[in-house]
Amino acid sequence: MLIDSDQIRAMEKRQRAAFVNSLSGFKSANLVGTADRAGHTNLAIMSSVVHLGSDPPLLALIVRPGGEERHTLANILATGCYSLNHVTAALVEPAHQTAARYPADVSEFEATGLTPQYQQGFAAPLVAEASLKLGLELREHQQLAINGTHLVIGEVVLVDIPERALMADGAVDLTVAGTVAISGLDSYHDPRIIKRMAYAKPGLSPRSLEHQTADMAARGRYQRV
């Protein structure tokens, strides 16, 4: 089946949104925690987080257009900080509910029963129930000319991670952290590792790494370095 741009344009609005939102593959599931200058909290699920660089550690987030009605963006621009909290299977229902358009004076923390957690010296709330939580400081913001979406670039300044999810080579075993993946705008997946691959070099054929997940190490199947 081949679908061209005329057919994409001709799709009914919601159908096109569901279709195109599926095309970028599996995406990360994050709850973005913010507060306004007065400390009123806000929480929103967002899947468009991408890695931008490791030194300094930068993550980019795409926020839909919509001005002041976008509480997450307004809070990030006002306070310069926000948290990203990985969604686990147990959190899918409250996390998804944060997508509802609550008015500015209603906190999605209260509406969904999730608990704000504070780290000293960091103004944005983390999500206590999440297993992997990041604190970010805003470094750059641009509204993109092509469709008015906002590119928000933040530096990771805090990482709260279960120790057993941290592997010897520095990678994080997200299956141990229980992080889920998203496809489209409504499907939540429980991913598993198929294989870990060694650093690719010309002239060397692809080599898989010893499949030493942090979980296996924690259960004593492999020695933890």
Residues that bind ligand FMN (CB under 6 A): 42, 44-48, 62-64, 70-72, 96, 99, 101, 182, 185
Q: Decide whether 26 or 118 has the Cβ nearer to ligand FMN.
A: 26
Rg of the chain, C-alpha, whole Å:
19
User: Residues, the chain, total?
Assistant: 225
Report the first-to-last Cα separation within the chain, whole angstroms: 49
Backbone angles phi, psi at 120, to 5 degrees: -55, 135
Please give the Cα distance from 111 to 44 (Å, whole number): 12
Contacts of 131 (CB under 8 A, 6+ apart): 86, 88, 161, 162, 165, 177, 178, 179
Beta carbon of residue 124, minimum distance to ligand FMN (angstroms, whole number): 13
Q: Decide whether 27 or 166 has the Cβ nearer to ligand FMN.
A: 27
Q: Decide whether 84 or 214 has the Cβ nearer to ligand FMN.
A: 84
- Cβ atoms of 117 and 125 within 8 Å: the answer is yes
Q: Is 93 helix (H, G, I), strand (E, B) or coil?
A: helix
Beta carbon of residue 76, minimum distance to ligand FMN (angstroms, whole number): 9
- Residue 165 is encoded by which pair of tokens? 């999810």
Q: Decide whether 40 or 70 has the Cβ nearer to ligand FMN.
A: 70
Beta carbon of residue 159, minimum distance to ligand FMN (angstroms, whole number): 21
Q: Decide whether 186 or 198 has the Cβ nearer to ligand FMN.
A: 186
Return the H-helix or E-strand segment holding 109. Answer: helix 108-112
Beta carbon of residue 46, minimum distance to ligand FMN (angstroms, whole number): 4
Q: Decide whether 100 or 198 has the Cβ nearer to ligand FMN.
A: 100
Beta carbon of residue 114, minimum distance to ligand FMN (angstroms, whole number): 13
Beta carbon of residue 139, minimum distance to ligand FMN (angstroms, whole number): 18
- Cβ atoms of 217 and 210 within 8 Å: the answer is no
Q: What angle do CA 199, 203, 207 make, to 5 degrees?
A: 40
Q: Decide whether 80 or 162 has the Cβ nearer to ligand FMN.
A: 80
Beta carbon of residue 92, minimum distance to ligand FMN (angstroms, whole number): 10
